[in-house]
Structure 1
Amino acid sequence: MSLTAIRVADLQRSVEFYTAGCGFALEREFSTDLFDAMILRAGTAGIELLRPRDAAAAPDHGNMFAKMVVNTRDVDGLVALACAHGGTAEMPVTELEAFGGMVVGSVRDPDGHLIEVVGRR
């Protein structure tokens, strides 16, 4: 998989969060009759932010468990940066001894999408 698409309420706010807060870079933007979109990349990983043109309500996440996972060498730093750019802390950064010292924290983006940040210390 090379790209994940998510619906957002405000493209500019989401681009700020994912670029300044999570280290992605803007690859391209485009529009159709149905939506406006921006594709962001971090290496080979990509995220497509979609803003439907007729969207009056915020995205409804339903009751499914869904998350995106971002790997980094600095979990504490990335979680703090994401929160400084519109994210909300979901789970504090925790070292998981049972998983060989893996470090995990999570944030929600401005639209409530869950992002798990994973690395090692």
Structure 2
Amino acid sequence: MPRQGTRSTTIRMLIASTLCVITPPSLGATMQDMQRDMQQRREQQQRDDQARSAERARQDMEGMRKMQENNREQMQRLEEMNRQQTQEREKFFRESEEQHRREQAEERTARKATADGETSPEQ
């Protein structure tokens, strides 16, 4: 089996001799040219991969930033709801205490009136 490139070289020489033209080496793709092209493609592929990776990382960071912002906003809403509920509970507690004090005062007044000989509300 002939070495790789031997057949094409032989064919080129036959064509050149038939046409009486000498084929300069710059017209044929040499092994070094192919290796250089392959290396350039690999390097370009690496650059493309790095660019895609960097874009994914940027998008991931943007997504995380948005998630953090949403979490912050949600925490603020929850804190506001908690503050409002606390105020409502405190108001209810105050109103309940005031109602209880009024009822106790009315009971004391009624007992005192009964003790003083005045008519009680049951009569």
Q: Do they superpose with TM above 0.5?
A: no
Q: Could you say which structure has the higher strand fraction?
A: 1
Q: Could you say which structure has the higher helix fraction?
A: 2
Greater RCO, CA 8 A, separation 6+? 1
TM-score (norm 2): 0.16
